[in-house]
């Protein structure tokens, strides 16, 4: 049986699509492994599911610009480590998950004759994908517009963005005292801006608080300070650095406020939840704004920008949340529009692409689909 090695991760936006494909491959291939830079997220999500995990030295694009000599040495060490891992693991294919951390194993695999497939999650392809795409047999993209940002020689396949399994949809019991759930997500790394501004915005619409409670993922910031902000704003809130089982909370939510990472958006679309998007203004190539605009232009999300000054940002957030918190029809329209854009079969679509690169793999895929 075949074996597959996934390369990259660091953030949930890159890692979780790989996890989704790996879960689809479980029982279909003999061995699954991940190569990363040793972050807690990478280890927890891969080893916790029984996948092999390998670490290579950390190299970032920022370090490459600031410390070119040191970064070149570290990059060479990462490449040599990746070659050893590829040689020992002997994968049938390597899947690059995007981000600069995916480069060592992708480069090693290409040099050693191992087929490479890349996953690109965003509307605007990342720098790593643009750089590595010429080494790949194919690039799996989530948006048709992404192909225009890659070299014309690259073969792209529109698969959608694979996501983690969501729990089954359940209808909440509608009672007079039921509080709806506002879910605030700053991504796997959190967002200081949302941690500060969302409680402040909700303080301005305090009358809505009797019918809602907040569940807020604050990332690395101390959750105590965020909890106190909600208390002063008069809102009931559960605040955690990292939510246990975020897909479960997504299913339980009635409205989401989130950054515009592509993987977060894919999960929200599959769950069919109304969302207010606040793109991270410092994302590379402003790719989060492009992601948010893609959905907003289709009537599938509301968007509030931070780039127009803090008071306008706060005012825009108050305006959008006030309408959506108070209007079930408005939430319903957004939720239905975004769910129509979902690609819940994206992991299977990536498997189809991988199957074209692997001898004998096509015969194994029906086993996965019968078990699904």
Task: Tell me the C-alpha to C-alpha distance, in Å, between residue 113 and each of 82, 98, 106, 132, 322.
Answer: 14, 20, 11, 15, 56
Mean of the pLDDT values across residues 209-226?
90
Share above pLDDT 90 across residues of the chain, in percent, rounded to a whole number? 71
> The domain 3-162+344-366 is classified under which CATH number: 3.30.2130.30, 3.30.450.20, 1.10.8.10, 3.40.50.2000?
3.40.50.2000
- Given a cut of 80, is residue 58 above it in pLDDT? no
The reply to whether 3-162+344-366 and 180-339 are identical in fold is yes
pLDDT at 371: 42
Task: Tell me the C-alpha to C-alpha distance, in Å, between residue 99 and each of 77, 92, 127.
Answer: 18, 22, 8
Contacts for 173 with CB less than 8 Å, ≥ 6 apart:
none
Q: Which tokens hold the place of 116?
A: 């490479």
Cα angle vertex 7, ends 148, 127, to 5°? Answer: 30
> Where do the structural domains in the chain lie, given as residue ranges?
3-162+344-366, 180-339
The second-level CATH assignment, the architecture, of 180-339 is: 3-Layer(aba) Sandwich (3.40)
pLDDT digits (tens, 9 = 90+) for 235-247: 999 999 887 667 7
Mean of the pLDDT values across residues 6-18?
90
Residue 116 CB neighbours (<10 A): 24
Q: Which tokens hold the place of 262?
A: 């592509």
d(CA 253, CA 274) in angstroms, rounded, equals 9
Number of helices followed by number of strands (H, E) in the chain:
15, 13
pLDDT digits (tens, 9 = 90+) for 86-139: 999 999 999 999 988 899 999 999 999 999 999 999 999 999 999 999 999 999
């Amino acid at each position: 049986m075949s074996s597959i090695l996934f390369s990259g991760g660091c953030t949930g936006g890159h890692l979780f699509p790989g996890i989704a494909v790996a879960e689809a491959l479980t029982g279909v291939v003999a061995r699954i492994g991940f190569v990363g830079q040793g972050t807690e997220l990478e280890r927890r999500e891969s080893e916790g599911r029984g996948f092999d995990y390998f670490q290579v030295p950390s190299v970032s694009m920022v370090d490459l610009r600031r410390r070119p000599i040191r970064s070149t040495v570290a990059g060479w060490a990462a490449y040599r480590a990746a070659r050893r891992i590829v040689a020992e693991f002997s994968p049938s294919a390597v899947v690059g998950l995007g981000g600069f951390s995916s480069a060592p194993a992708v480069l090693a695999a290409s040099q050693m004759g191992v087929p490479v497939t890349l996953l690109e999650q965003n509307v605007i392809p990342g720098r790593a994908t643009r750089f590595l795409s010429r080494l790949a047999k194919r690039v799996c993209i989530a948006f048709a517009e992404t192909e225009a940002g890659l070299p014309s020689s690259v073969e792209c396949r529109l698969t959608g963005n694979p996501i983690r399994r969501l729990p089954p949809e359940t209808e909440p019991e509608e009672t007079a005292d039921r509080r709806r759930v506002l879910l605030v997500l700053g991504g796997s790394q959190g967002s200081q801006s949302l941690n500060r501004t969302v409680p402040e915005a909700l303080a301005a619409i305090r009358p809505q608080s009797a019918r809602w409670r907040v569940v807020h993922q604050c990332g690395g910031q101390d959750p105590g300070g965020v909890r106190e902000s909600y208390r002063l704003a008069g809102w009931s809130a559960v605040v955690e650095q990292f939510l246990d089982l975020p897909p479960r909370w997504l299913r339980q939510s009635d409205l989401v406020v989130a950054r515009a990472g592509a993987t977060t958006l894919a999960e929200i679309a599959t769950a069919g939840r109304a969302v207010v998007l606040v793109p991270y203004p410092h994302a590379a190539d402003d790719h989060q704004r492009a992601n948010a605009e893609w959905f907003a232009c289709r009537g599938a999300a509301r968007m509030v920008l931070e780039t127009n000054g803090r008071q306008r940002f706060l005012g825009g957030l108050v305006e959008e949340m006030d309408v959506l918190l108070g209007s079930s029809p408005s939430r319903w329209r957004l939720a239905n529009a975004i769910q129509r854009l979902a690609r819940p079969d994206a992991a299977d679509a990536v498997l189809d692409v991988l199957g074209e690169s692997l001898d004998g793999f096509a015969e194994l895929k029906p086993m996965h689909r019968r078990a699904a």
